[in-house]
Amino acid sequence: MRKHHKGRMEKYIQEQTMSGALIGEFFLTVASGQPFPMKRTVRLSLTLEQWAVARGTATPEQRAIAEKQPRFIVVEELYYPTVRDMMEAM
């Protein structure tokens, strides 16, 4: 049985966060009350083809169309930290 190397994940996290600098920068931004960009997903309502697939009554053409239609979109918007967020970050 192979052992999982803990050091690899630690090294990966250090590389991705520039040795924790991004994490510190994030907390400073929250503590100062500055808005920062955040991504969130917005679910879209189902189309007729997607409804047919969900019910199990779709034709092969409807399945092909439904596969190409988006189910959600990603929206980037500014998040304004609350006073509670700022106090927690300090």
Total domains, the chain: 1
**Domain-located, residue 1:** no
**Domain-located, residue 47:** yes
Dump pLDDT digits (tens) for 15-66.
Answer: 777 777 777 777 788 888 888 888 999 999 999 999 999 999 999 999 999 9
**Domain-located, residue 73:** yes
For the chain, where are the E strands, in sequence order?
36-43, 72-79
Q: What is the pLDDT of residue 27?
A: 78
**18, 32 contact by CB (below 8 A):** no
**Residue span of the structural domain in which 49 resides:** 6-89
**66, 47 contact by CB (below 8 A):** yes
pTM given for the model: 0.50
**69, 49 contact by CB (below 8 A):** yes
Q: What is the pLDDT of residue 17?
A: 73
What's the rounded Cα separation, in Å, for the pair 8 and 70?
36
**Domain-located, residue 66:** yes
**Domain-located, residue 75:** yes
**Domain-located, residue 52:** yes
